[in-house]
Amino acid sequence: MNRFFNLPLQKKIVGIYMGANILIFIVNIFLIFGINIMAQEMEMVYHDNRQLNALSEAIADVQDSMTGYLSSKTTDSLENYYNSAQKFQNLSEAIGVQVTDESFSRMRRNIKYMSENYLSEVSLTIEAKRGRNVEKYRNHYEKSTELYDYINAYISSLNIEQFVSNSEHYTELASAFRTFELVSVAVLTLVMIGNIISIIIIVGMLIRPLKDLADSADEVATGNFDTDLPEPLYHDEIGIVIGAFNKMVVSIKEYIVRLRESMEKERDLQEKELMMETHLKDAQLKYLQAQINPHFLFNTLNAGAQLAMMEGADKTYEYVQTVADFFRYNVKNQETEVTIKEEVTLVDNYIQILNVRFSGDIKYEKQVDKRLLKTAMPSMTLQPIVENAVNHGIREMGDKGVIKLKVYREDSNVCISIGDNGKGISQEDIDKILGGSFAHKEEQYEHNGIGMDNVISRLRLFSERPDVVDIKSEGPGKGCEVIIRLPLPADE
């Protein structure tokens, strides 16, 4: 017995089931052969009724397609008519092939002849309709409808008579089939009882090691790697699987220990990197906010002093107040986020200051959707862009230079556009600016120290989008436009 259980699993399974399967196969062949013969006979019992039902459905399709064409005169309805008429003609020819003296055959022949007349009348109706002969197509339509009713009545009558005849034959076949069925069930029951008894005894001995393995696997699946591992009883495939499972559990336990140690080290490193990154970003933002060129401050206040000597105190007060507001925004506003309204106000003050310094040469146009002014954005963003447009775009144009600022909505974005009609810029330089590799040449114009690369970096950091800034220019001498796209707030 042990020699049998030490055989490979495949041979044991084949040996157990071979005899049972051969016996069942022989019995099933016998049963299938008998069932097929009876099934074929029962299939043919109602063949005539199915044929008549198909004919009834086909003539109904012809009538419906004809009516549909008469009411709509479309190409599709005409095509439906030709298809249904062809199908009905084929079925009507098949139903009247045999001609004998039996009553069923005579009725089939009558149905065939009436079907031919019906198709002829339907065809004439269609042709009259296509020829727009109303009186003619109505006459043919009435005749075809009358034939349709006669044919349906014949089909119904013949179907009923054949059904009665076929039902008697079907009853005889059903009785024989039930007898055969009882014998088959009895034979299969005896065979199955014998197989079950032998299989339960033998297979139970085979699956006991698998049951032990399954119990251990369930424990391991719940995370209990300290469960008792099963011992292989036989040197078959199941024994090999049990041995491999035991080794796997031991390896997993060791791997989990190593993984936990590695994850703890990695988590510590990630926490340190995240802390360093947070401090770095905070330092970068504070550094960028703090960059105000003292030359710009000096020249601006100097222009205010000169203006105070040249004209009255009112304009001087307005100018100095504007300058004060401008620098108060830079010095006081330490938050990383402000609203578009605050940034636009800063640009207004900046343009006003420049126009005092440069005798009103800069024209300033503004189109702002006030509904979007509460949208958040990084501070000190728009003024450096305007300053760049003035210094590198329109400074040498005198009073012909124009700065345009627009705030509008585009899909799910809040767009801020700052454009000028100045020198323009090449696509190569645009790519360098957006890529952070543009090297500014030494200029004679002072600036506030916050360059486009810093502005773009802060906007990308704020929005977490690489395409937050877009620069457009048709080329030298055709102006430049900087577009900022911020995500639309959820409450908009």
List, for residues 289-327, the tens digit of each pLDDT value.
Answer: 544 454 465 466 556 656 666 666 566 666 666 766 666
> Mean pLDDT: which of 43-52, 352-361, 433-442 is highest?
352-361
**Structural domain count, the chain:** 2
Burial of 136 (0-12, 13-18, 19+ CB in 10 A): middle
Across residues 397-419, what is the average pLDDT? 91
CB 85 within 8 A of CB 59: no
Largest alpha-carbon pair distance within the chain?
134
Q: Which has the higher per-residue pLDDT, 227 or 435?
A: 435
- Check pLDDT > 90 for residue 336: no
Supply the DSSP string of 122-154, one letter for each residue: HHHHHHHHHTT-HHHHHHHHHHHHHHHHHHHHH
Across residues 117-141, what is the average pLDDT? 82
Q: Are residues 45 and 191 in the same domain?
A: yes
Domain boundary among 185, 211, 237: 211
Residue 173 structural domain: 2-211
83-87, 284-288, 486-490: which range is least confident on average? Answer: 284-288
Across residues 176-202, what is the average pLDDT? 78
Q: Are residues 346 and 475 in the same domain?
A: yes
Across residues 54-77, what is the average pLDDT? 83
Domain boundary among 211, 246, 277: 211
103 domain-assigned: yes
pLDDT digits (tens, 9 = 90+) for 420-432: 998 888 888 888 8
- Please, what's the b/e burial string for 92-105 (b: 16 or more CB within 10 A of its CB; e: otherwise)? beebbeeeeeeeee
Q: Tokens 């300058």 — which residue?
A: 323
84 domain-assigned: yes
pLDDT at 185: 81
Could you give the CA distance from residue 124 to residue 139 in angstroms, rounded to a whole number? 10
Q: Are residues 359 and 481 in the same domain?
A: yes
DSSP state of 392: I
Across residues 108-114, what is the average pLDDT? 80
| Residues facing 363 on adjacent strands | 402
CATH of the domain at 100: 1.20.120.1730
CATH of the domain at 400: 3.30.565.10
Burial of 134 (0-12, 13-18, 19+ CB in 10 A): exposed
272 domain-assigned: no
Select from 52, 53, 34 the least CA-distant residue to 173.
34
- Six-digit token pair at 372? 């979007």
160 domain-assigned: yes
Across residues 11-29, what is the average pLDDT? 74
57-61, 351-355, 387-391, 447-451: which range is least confident on average? Answer: 447-451
107 pLDDT tier (thresholds 50, 70, 90): confident
Q: Which has the higher per-residue pLDDT, 320 or 24?
A: 24
301 domain-assigned: no
390 domain-assigned: yes
Supply the DSSP string of 67-121, one letter for each residue: HHHHHH--HHHHHHHHHHHHHHHHHHHHHT----SSHHHHHHHHHHHHHHHHHHH
pLDDT digits (tens, 9 = 90+) for 463-475: 888 889 999 998 7
Express as a percent the part of the chain with pLDDT over 90.
11
What length is written for the chain? 492
What is the H or E stretch that residue 378 is in? strand 376-378
Q: Which has the higher per-residue pLDDT, 112 or 206?
A: 112
Task: Kindly report each contact of residues 128-136 with a partner whose C-beta sits within 8 Å and lies 24 or more positions away, as own/partner.
Answer: 129/69, 129/70, 129/73, 130/73
Q: Are residues 195 and 327 in the same domain?
A: no
Q: What is the distance of C-alpha 58 from the center of its chain?
A: 43
Helices vs strands, H then E, count in the chain: 13, 7
Sheet holding 480-487, edge to edge: 363-368, 402-410, 413-420, 480-487, 469-472
Query: Structure pTM?
Result: 0.41
Could you give the CA distance from residue 193 to residue 473 in angstroms, rounded to a whole number? 90
- Check pLDDT > 60 for residue 147: yes
Across residues 240-259, what is the average pLDDT? 80
pLDDT at 443: 47
259 domain-assigned: no
Cα–Cα distances (Å) from 289 to 335, 351, 380, in that order, read 9, 20, 7
338 domain-assigned: yes
Across residues 59-84, what is the average pLDDT? 83
Could you give the CA distance from residue 150 to residue 248 in angstroms, rounded to a whole number? 82
State the chain's mean pLDDT as an integer.
Answer: 77
Domain boundary among 211, 229, 253: 211
